[in-house]
């Protein structure tokens, strides 16, 4: 199964679809990179605050996981420009979808103080 995640098996990278035009590839990579960095910095700051405050609210930690999953999605968007690892991207999107939905279900309860 791991081999399927990391073996392109004849697929072309996304950059090919963009015709390797620097005016398309470069801004896409830069924007996804900046978003990914922000998506890592935000939950790290939240996690540090939770850790310092001794909070163990599952919903807040789930929110941290959700943002980190989103960061991974943007990193994989960059990777697939150069390497056609679409199976890995699909698996990661499935994980992100599950964490996102769990977060969406749990967060309203946090607002009600439960």
| pLDDT tens track for 14-59 | 999 889 999 999 999 999 999 999 999 999 988 888 777 766 677 7
Q: For residues 107 and 92, which has the higher predicted lDDT (pLDDT)?
A: 92
| Number of helical (H) and strand (E) elements in the chain, helices listed first | 5, 0
DSSP code at position 114: -
pLDDT of residue 55: 64
Does the reported pTM lie above 0.95? no
Q: Mean pLDDT of all residues in the chain?
A: 88
pLDDT over 80 at 81, yes or no: yes
Radius of gyration of the chain (CA): 17
**CB contact set of 47 (below 8 Å; sequence gap of 6+):** 61, 64
pLDDT over 70 at 106, yes or no: yes
């Amino acid at each position: 199964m791991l081999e399927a995640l990391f073996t392109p098996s004849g697929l072309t990278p996304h950059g090919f679809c963009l015709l390797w035009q620097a005016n398309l590839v470069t801004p896409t990579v830069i924007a996804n990179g900046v978003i990914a960095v922000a998506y890592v910095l935000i939950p790290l700051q939240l996690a540090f605050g939770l850790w310092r405050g001794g909070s163990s609210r599952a919903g807040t930690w789930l929110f941290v996981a959700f943002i980190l999953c989103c960061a991974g999605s943007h990193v994989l968007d960059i990777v697939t420009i150069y390497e056609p690892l679409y199976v890995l991207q699909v698996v990661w999107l499935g994980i992100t979808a599950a964490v996102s939905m769990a977060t969406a279900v749990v967060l309203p309860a946090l607002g009600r103080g439960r």
